[in-house]
Copies of this chain bind each other. A is one copy, B any other.
C-alpha cells in the first residue's frame, strides 16, 4: 500500500461547451471572458453562466468553464438531478453515451442537449511526473482517506494522468460537504 497527500479541488455544477454551442447561445465568434484561472493549466471559469432547464425545474447561475471542448458536457450534482427532474448518471468525464438530457439557456437563447449531462465521478488528476513518483498509471483506481468528524474513505477514484495535469483530487460539492472538506484541504491517497 502506497500513501501520499494531495489537495482537494471542489467543483460545483458547471458546463463545458463546444465552440458551436457557445456561438448558438452567445452569437457568432463569441469569446468567453475569463473570470478565474483553474488548477488545471489552461482551464478557466468564465464570467458567463447558463440556466439549466429540466422537466421539473431550473438551476440558474451554472458557470461555464473554458476553453471550448470537443463535446458539450454538463456536470451537475445529485441535488440538481432532483431539482431538474432528470436522472443524469455518475460518469467519468467524456463518457457521455446515454447520459442525461437537459435544456441549456443563456442570453435569451436555448439549446437542447440530447445527452451530455453527468454527475462527475471522483477522480485524481496527476501529471506524468507525479504518476511516476507515486507509482500510478492512467486509469488506476485508488481510495482517499479523510480525517475529521465527517471523515472516512472514498473508494473508486479514477486516476487520470496527463503531462499537463496538476495533482489534485476532484470531488463535487456534495462529496466535499459530506466529508467536511473545503477546496485546498489535504487528504491521503491509498493506492495498491
Q: 7 interchain pairs (CB within 8 A)?
A: A90-B149, A90-B180, A122-B150, A143-B152, A152-B152, A174-B174, A174-B178
Interface range, A side: 20 to 34
In the complex, whether A64 has a CB less than 8 A from a CB of chain B is: no
Q: In the complex, given contacts A152-B155, A178-B178, what are 12 additional A-B residue pairs having Cβ atoms less than 8 angstroms apart?
A: A78-B177, A78-B178, A78-B180, A79-B79, A90-B149, A150-B175, A151-B155, A152-B152, A152-B156, A174-B174, A174-B177, A175-B178
A77 within 8 A of B: yes
For the complex of A and B, 3 pairs with smallest distance between CB atoms: A78-B177, A178-B178, A175-B178
| Contact assessment for A177 and B77 in the assembled complex, using a CB-CB cutoff below 8 Å | yes
Cβ of A121 within 8 Å of any chain B Cβ, yes or no, is yes
Q: Dominant SS at the A interface?
A: mixed
For A179, what are the chain B residues with a Cβ–Cβ distance below 8 Å? 178
Q: Which B residues touch A79, using CB under 8 A?
A: 79, 173-174, 177
State how many angstroms separate the Cβ of A9 from the closest Cβ of chain B. 15
Q: How far is the CA of A151 from the CA of B155 in the complex (A)?
A: 6
Cβ-based interface call for A38 (8 A): no
Determine the residue in chain B with the shortest Cβ distance to A144: B152
For A33, list chain B residues within 8 Å (CB).
Answer: none
